[in-house]
Chain A
Amino acid sequence: SQKIEQNSEALNIQEGKTATLTCNYTNYSPAYLQWYRQDPGRGPVFLLLIRENEKEKRKERLKVTFDTTLKQSLFHITASQPADSATYLCALRRDDKIIFGKGTRLHILP
């Protein structure tokens, strides 16, 4: 069955450094992959989408890469700030539904 794996351990990053989060998937080749941000007590918010024919996508301080050979996406936040602290979820479409990884909690330490 389709699996999306994200590092379930919290990631602690010093303010100003680059945070890198990993999303691995198995048993499928999605046409695109998405990243969402979720704050406590709130619903996820869409951040970026990257298609299978795109290697990299950027939006302000965010960058996403997509390696269909490794079946992996990396999500980078450059010049990280305490306000970037949240849970980040990757998602892909499989069998006409969007499925999510369990997310990685990111803590940016001041």
Chain B
Amino acid sequence: KAGVTQTPRYLIKTRGQQVTLSCSPISGHRSVSWYQQTPGQGLQFLFEYFSETQRNKGNFPGRFSGRQFSNSRSEMNVSTLELGDSALYLCASSTRQGAGGGANVLTFGAGSRLTVL
């Protein structure tokens, strides 16, 4: 079956602009999580969506937002871009929400590489 699809793969923006990234999870996966990856900080959790509701949020400013649609596809938006937002943004889907006693194994997309100039 098809994996997690992220678009666009690469994009360049300038400071102050906004960007929207898209993620299509594996069919049947209802949970979508977003991560920011930078060389200095590694993988940092942004947020998780399950059944169109944000279930968890990391320590990022309000400029970072997201949403999930009824077909489980998710988007994240970053407004008023800063140079420090340059990173690889990774989306991961799973069959489980983060809460609950079961194991939550993530399937990642290839990421969207954002460069802010």
Interface size bucket, B side? 20 to 34
> Which residues from chain B contact A45 at a C-beta distance below 8 Å?
108
Most buried by A among B41, B97, B106, B107: B106
Chain B residue nearest to A101 in the complex (CB) = B42
Contact B42 A103 (CB under 8 A): yes
> Which residues from chain A contact B105 at a C-beta distance below 8 Å?
34, 46, 49
Q: Which B77-117 residues sit within 8 Å CB-CB of chain A?
A: 90, 92, 97-99, 101, 103-111, 113
B55 interface contact, C-beta 8 A: yes
Chain B residue nearest to A1 in the complex (CB) = B59
Total A-B contacts with CB atoms under 8 angstroms apart: 61
> Which residues from chain B contact A42 at a C-beta distance below 8 Å?
110-111
Contact A43 B56 (CB under 8 A): no
Contact A100 B56 (CB under 8 A): no
> Which residues from chain A contact B92 at a C-beta distance below 8 Å?
43
Contact A93 B98 (CB under 8 A): yes
Chain A residue nearest to B108 in the complex (CB) = A43
Q: How far is the CA of A3 from the CA of B25 in the complex (A)?
A: 29
Query: Could you tell me the dominant secondary structure of chain A's interface residues?
Result: strand
A79 interface contact, C-beta 8 A: no
A109 interface contact, C-beta 8 A: no
> Which residues from chain A contact B104 at a C-beta distance below 8 Å?
93, 98
- 23 contacts across the A-B interface (CB closer than 8 A): A32-B103, A34-B105, A42-B110, A42-B111, A43-B90, A43-B92, A43-B110, A44-B43, A44-B106, A46-B107, A49-B103, A49-B105, A89-B43, A95-B56, A96-B55, A96-B97, A97-B56, A98-B45, A99-B45, A100-B42, A101-B42, A102-B41, A103-B42
Residues of A participating in the B interface, judged by any CB pair closer than 8 Å: 31-32, 34, 36, 41-46, 49, 51, 89, 91, 93, 95-103
Residues of B participating in the A interface, judged by any CB pair closer than 8 Å: 4, 33, 35, 41-43, 45, 48, 55-56, 58, 90, 92, 97-99, 101, 103-111, 113
In the A-B complex, list the 5 residue pairs whose CB atoms are closest, starting with the nearest.
Answer: A43-B108, A102-B42, A96-B98, A100-B43, A96-B99
